[in-house]
């Protein structure tokens, strides 16, 4: 069965994201920190990795760490950054495109 990894430090938000993905025909695994995510990414294959960020977080640094882990384990997973609104303009999406991941904005 295909698997999706959700990385989110906020347990309430992590549960909400997991519930919203619940209709997909795959298993959803979750964790709250990059270290646990690194362990899971080394042990399992995921079709997508979703990294939730907060408005005040250094989201690009977190995504870079996850990207480097994925490159190290040579995993071909779709990397998605879940960002809170407001939408700041095209800068974040252009940055994400250059780095090879997608940015999705929550409402």
Average pLDDT per 10 consecutive residues for the chain, totaling 107 residues: 93 93 92 93 93 81 88 86 80 82 85
Check residue 93 and give its pLDDT: 80
DSSP 6-28: EE-S-HHHHHHHHHHTTTSSSEE
Q: Could you tell me the pTM of the whole model?
A: 0.87
List the beta bridge partners of residue 5. Answer: 29, 49
CA atoms within 13 A on the CB side of 79: 21
Q: Would you tell me how many other CB atoms lie within 10 Å of the CB of residue 45?
A: 12
Check residue 76 and give its pLDDT: 81
- The domain ranges of the chain are 13-85+96-105
Report phi then psi at 10, rounded to 5. Answer: -90, 110
Among 52, 3, 8, 49, smallest CA distance to 25 is for: 3
């Amino acid at each position: 069965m295909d698997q999706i990894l959700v990385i989110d430090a906020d347990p309430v938000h992590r549960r909400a994201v997991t519930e919203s993905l619940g209709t997909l025909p795959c298993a959803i695994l979750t964790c709250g920190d990059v270290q646990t995510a690194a362990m899971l990414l080394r042990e399992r294959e995921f079709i997508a990795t979703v990294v939730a960020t907060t408005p005040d977080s250094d989201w690009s640094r977190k995504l870079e760490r996850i990207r480097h882990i994925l490159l190290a384990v040579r995993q071909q997973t779709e990397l998605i950054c879940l960002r809170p609104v407001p939408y700041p303009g095209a800068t974040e999406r252009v940055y994400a495109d250059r780095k090879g991941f997608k940015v999705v904005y929550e409402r």
